Amino acid sequence: MAKSRVLPAVLLTLLLAGASAGQAVTLVFEGEHYTWIKPSMRKGTDDGASQKGYVEIPLQRPHGEQEGEPFDDGSVTFKINIPQNGKYWLWARTWWYDSCGNSFFVMVDDMSPEIPTYITSTKKRKWGWVRGRQYTLAAGYHVIRFQNREDGAKLDQFLLTTAPEKWEPKRAYSETAQYLWQPEK
Amino acid sequence: MPPASQLTFFDDEVAAPYAVTGMMTVADPGAVDLQIIIDLDEESGSCYQLVARGATVELYEVVGQSHKPLGHPGTINWRTGQETSFTLRRDLWQIAFLYAGRVIVRGYDSELHGSRAGYLAQGCQLSESFVQVLGEMDMTDDFMRPPSERGPWEPVRGSWQLRGLRVDPLASRMEADKSANAFSYFAKGSDERALSIAGSWYWEGYLVEAAVRAVHGGAIGLVGYYQDEDNYVGVRWLPNGSALGSGELQVIEVVDGHERVLATAPGGYLHSQWYQMRMGVKAGLVCVWIDDQLRLTGKTTAFGQGKVGLLAEGNSGILFDDVVVRPWQVIWEDFAEDVPGKWNLLSGNWTISAPGAARVTSPSELIAVAGAQEWDDYRHQVQVSAASGAVGLVFGYHSPADYYLLRWAPSGSRVPYGGKAQIVHVVNGQPDVLAEAALGRAQAGQAAVTVQRGLVRGWLGGKCVVQTLEPELRGGAVGLYAEQASGASFASVYAQELPPPRTVHVVKEFADTGEHAEMAEWSSPAGIWVAPEERDAPEAQWQSKGVYFGGKEVRFTLHKVGSRTGTLRLTLDADPGSNVPGYTLSIAATSGSNTLTVALLAGERSLGQKSVEVAGKSCGVQFAHQGDYLIATIGDERIFCEKVE
């Protein structure tokens, strides 16, 4: 497994045209530091994952060889505190098993969307970032859920950023845990 | 160099490879005064500095009071009043400034490693600027997914669709595991060129390859450095007798919608035939391979980064499959011009006077080095001509105190090794001759050194003349060497990473054909082996169906060491039924013991025998024939390294 270098928590310098300078906001969350979890989603460990931890929909036996319905609605859910209004791109650092284990449903605030959104890519058997959608989020609390769509899919981190669309994350990033709500233990 | 207090710094710490990018708006081109600083070491003040003043753009390496120019100054046509993209790329060795996707200035250096980047912009406004980390550029697509999932591709023009399983109305079943090309990407470009694009805007120095097949006619192609549908480079292949043009292979460049053919090679494709097409782009060099054969080379001065794509023309349709994008490590030099900073002359002098060649002018030693490569397996070649003295290739260069040479000199030369070719490791100025061989008369023409899995071979005139094993040799820059050879000339330098060896994978189930015994002969993983008549016989021998030429290596894991008594014999380069017994690695195990008795044989002649202690219950075994060497490894321990004829 290639070494991953953790880059410092980011506040990208973003210069807006005009007199004032603004900064891009990037929030980073570890998959295994969820607010809530529902089986079959479970935690796992891997040297290639940030902080060596991730969450996954475990591989089923037999693993689906054709596209079909997910076998359950296992999920991880995050309650996060967005610091300022903005348009945020979602990126997820994932590991896919194969062509039938390479996606998650993603819900933001609306947990029963009419048209489910999912993230997917063709990169398999290695950790890599996948772009999701751009969301307009007001400052305050929001709920983000990654839900079973195909078994064998793993989630290491995800981030929300107001950086330009051209910006792409590389490697793993330091967590911004201060923006994650956790229930009192 | 402006004081740090005047610079606007990016928060991110930087480390090559990365790019500073954003948008720029210029109101008055004459008033532009822009400086972008990268790799700044705040303690020493060293950095790379891009300076744009008016229409002139220059790149420097700044160390102390010294401002060393890198590359030639560029002239820029500012797009007045328009927000336009800019990028300053800091790759491992190349530094390039691009404006509106065009390369304005390109230089080469890898000495500095400061961690800050910033800028001072006067007469222009920068916006949406950020640091983009580069690297980790790879993509594969076998198109195995339902049609609803588009994958990484964005069709720009034409008709594109995923196709699953062959369309055959006579087939009663369509089973993917019986088909070699069950899924593919199908394109039609009826009245216009069809394009479908993937990848990232900052990709540079890559190979893009695909399996391609034309149904009947049309143009097949690949795209690189894609900016938008009116700006990209590409390869385009036509069949003989095509209405779209003569049967030939083309490198094309499309700039603002105007197309130019940069290079051509004769020979059209055959209809309904699958080919592997590969295109490499790096620092303006464009190379095209068909079925692993280099067919065409071109140069573009327009673009320096961009996405990849697939190209199709014609009504009948083009199929694409197995797309792979991976980094392309290559250094090339045609000496068309002397680029400041590209070559680091450690000693000696040369002139690039005759177009296409560098001529040595120093009477003593010349060492010129380029690149900063992180490759392990590569080929470095040059066209060389020398009437007297020694010439050679530098490789594995890490510092003036640590590098390797392939050098040779004709008989009668004033150097001590006249009449010989040598592979030398120079450490702290002291040459350690690793291998040498007699050399006939003066050698002119193509010379090359290949480094592959630690095997170093020197080639003159296409023939391997000397070789040695250097398993610890890793990475390093390459270069050129001359000694007592004033007047010698070098041309056409080309160094590129060698692809990993192809593998024939045998899985653990290779002997299990219980479910489909009738398929055992061809469809199971055991299909590459000819099974013995009695598989459980004491000396049952499995032989490969294929005949493998050149270097080869077999790897497997030996499980449950100590669980039984027996001997495993692995033979390479044998020809059953003839008098070619090959080379054999014999591994004898005893029940209850973790000690293996390992023997190496040429036919039945022993080349050596050793005992190996295995920690644990299993160990990896590797047996290779590389060049003239037989190499056997058990676990992490090299057991044998024997040179054979």
Domain B139-168+180-327: assigned CATH number: 2.60.120.560
- A67: chain B residues, CB-CB within 8 Å: 145-146
Say whether A67 and B146 touch across the interface (CB within 8 A).
Answer: yes
Q: Which of B318, B296, B155 lies closest to B239, judged by CA?
A: B318
pLDDT classification of A4: cutoffs 50, 70, 90 = very low
The domain spans of chain B are 4-133, 139-168+180-327, 330-497, 547-643
More confident residue, B556 or A86: A86
As to burial, measured by CB atoms within 10 angstroms (0-12 exposed, 13-18 middle, 19+ buried), residue B206 is: buried
- Which of A44-53, B178-187, B635-644 has the lowest average pLDDT? B178-187
Q: Which of B377, B388, B495 lies closest to B447, judged by CA?
A: B495
- B132: chain A residues, CB-CB within 8 Å: 166-168
Looking at residue A6, what is its pLDDT?
Answer: 37
Residue A179 has pLDDT above 70, yes or no: yes
For residue A113, give its domain range: 32-60+73-178
pLDDT classification of A66: cutoffs 50, 70, 90 = low
Say whether B22 and A163 touch across the interface (CB within 8 A).
Answer: no
Looking at residue B15, what is its pLDDT?
Answer: 93
What is the rounded CA–CA span in Å between residue B421 and residue B94? 33
Give me the CATH number covering residue A156: 2.60.120.260
More confident residue, B607 or B537: B607
Looking at residue B154, what is its pLDDT?
Answer: 95
Mutate to test the interface with B, among A100, A122, A124 (most CBs of B within 10 A): A122
- The amino acid at A74: G
Question: Token digits for B248?
Answer: 């030939």
Residue B500 has pLDDT above 90, yes or no: no
Looking at residue B547, what is its pLDDT?
Answer: 72
In a domain? residue A143: yes
Say whether B132 and A166 touch across the interface (CB within 8 A).
Answer: yes
Say whether B128 and A16 touch across the interface (CB within 8 A).
Answer: yes
- A8: chain B residues, CB-CB within 8 Å: 12-13
Give residues with Cβ within 8 angstroms of A13, minimum separation 6.
Answer: A21, A23, A24, B8, B9, B10, B11, B12, B129, B130
Looking at residue B387, what is its pLDDT?
Answer: 86
What is the interface pTM, i.e. ipTM, of the complex? 0.84
Domain B330-497: assigned CATH number: 2.60.120.560
- A166: chain B residues, CB-CB within 8 Å: 21, 128, 132, 201
A20–chain B Cβ distance below 8 A for any pair: no
In a domain? residue A65: no
Relative to beta strand B420-427, strand B402-409 is antiparallel
In a domain? residue A20: no
What is the rounded CA–CA span in Å between residue B193 and residue B311? 7
End-to-end distance of chain B based on CA atoms, in angstroms? 61
Looking at residue B514, what is its pLDDT?
Answer: 52
* CATH 2.60.120.200 matches B547-643: yes
Looking at residue B229, what is its pLDDT?
Answer: 95
CA distance B280 to chain A (A): 21
The answer to whether B131 touches B18, Cβ cutoff 8 Å, is yes
pLDDT classification of B148: cutoffs 50, 70, 90 = confident
Residue B474 has pLDDT above 90, yes or no: no
Residue B125 has pLDDT above 50, yes or no: yes
Say whether B130 and A164 touch across the interface (CB within 8 A).
Answer: yes
Each residue of A126-175: pLDDT tens digit? Answer: 999 999 999 999 999 999 999 999 999 999 999 999 999 999 998 899 99
Option in B127, B133, B144 nearest A16 (CB): B127
Say whether B139 and A123 touch across the interface (CB within 8 A).
Answer: yes
A15–chain B Cβ distance below 8 A for any pair: yes
Say whether A171 and B127 touch across the interface (CB within 8 A).
Answer: no
CB pairs under 8 A between A and B: 75
Each residue of A93-122: pLDDT tens digit? Answer: 999 998 889 999 999 999 888 888 999 988
More confident residue, B166 or B132: B132
- A101: chain B residues, CB-CB within 8 Å: none
Give residues with Cβ within 8 angstroms of B66, minimum separation 6.
Answer: none
- A24: chain B residues, CB-CB within 8 Å: 130
Average pLDDT over residues B24-46: 95
Say whether A121 and B135 touch across the interface (CB within 8 A).
Answer: no
Average pLDDT over residues B301-323: 94
- Which of B182-186, B372-376, B400-404 has the lowest average pLDDT? B372-376
Say whether B25 and A122 touch across the interface (CB within 8 A).
Answer: no
Residue B305 has pLDDT above 90, yes or no: yes
Among chain A residues, CA nearest to B10: A13
B228 forms beta bridges with B231
| CA distances for B534 relative to A52, B541, B578, angstroms | 49, 9, 22
Buried b (16+ CB within 10 A) or exposed e, B451-468: bbbbbbbbbbeeeebbbb
Find the chain B residues whose C-beta atoms sit closer than 8 A to any C-beta of A.
Answer: 8-13, 21-22, 25, 83, 125-136, 138-142, 144-146, 149, 151-152, 200-202
Q: What percent of chain B has pLDDT over 90?
A: 68
- B125: chain A residues, CB-CB within 8 Å: 17
Q: What percent of chain A has pLDDT over 90?
A: 68
Among chain B residues, CA nearest to A165: B128
What is the rounded CA–CA span in Å between residue B277 and residue B8? 45
Average pLDDT, chain B: 88
Say whether A11 and B149 touch across the interface (CB within 8 A).
Answer: no
The half-sphere exposure of B26 on its side-chain side, counting CA atoms within 13 A, is 21
Mutate to test the interface with B, among A25, A166, A168, A173 (most CBs of B within 10 A): A166
CA distance A105 to chain B (A): 14
What is the rounded CA–CA span in Å between residue B467 and residue B457? 4
Among chain A residues, CA nearest to B83: A17
- B22: chain A residues, CB-CB within 8 Å: 15
Say whether A10 and B131 touch across the interface (CB within 8 A).
Answer: no
Residue B510 has pLDDT above 50, yes or no: no
Among chain A residues, CA nearest to B132: A167
Residue B508 has pLDDT above 60, yes or no: no
pLDDT classification of B504: cutoffs 50, 70, 90 = low
The answer to whether B344 touches B66, Cβ cutoff 8 Å, is no
pLDDT classification of A63: cutoffs 50, 70, 90 = confident
In a domain? residue A183: no
In a domain? residue A2: no
Mutate to test the interface with B, among A1, A3, A10, A13 (most CBs of B within 10 A): A13
Say whether A24 and B130 touch across the interface (CB within 8 A).
Answer: yes
Domains B4-133 and B139-168+180-327 share a fold: yes
Q: Which of B160, B164, B252, B143 lies closest to B197, judged by CA?
A: B160
DSSP state letter for A63: P
In a domain? residue A38: yes
Looking at residue B501, what is its pLDDT?
Answer: 75
* CATH 2.60.120.560 matches B4-133: yes
What is the rounded CA–CA span in Å between residue B339 and residue B358? 12
Residue A69 has pLDDT above 80, yes or no: no
pLDDT classification of B581: cutoffs 50, 70, 90 = confident
Residue B72 has pLDDT above 80, yes or no: yes
Option in B130, B144, B201 nearest A14 (CB): B130
Option in B10, B144, B149 nearest A13 (CB): B10
Domain count, chain A: 1
Phi, psi of B642 (to 5 degrees): -115, 135
Looking at residue A64, what is its pLDDT?
Answer: 61
3-state secondary structure of B31: helix
In a domain? residue A12: no
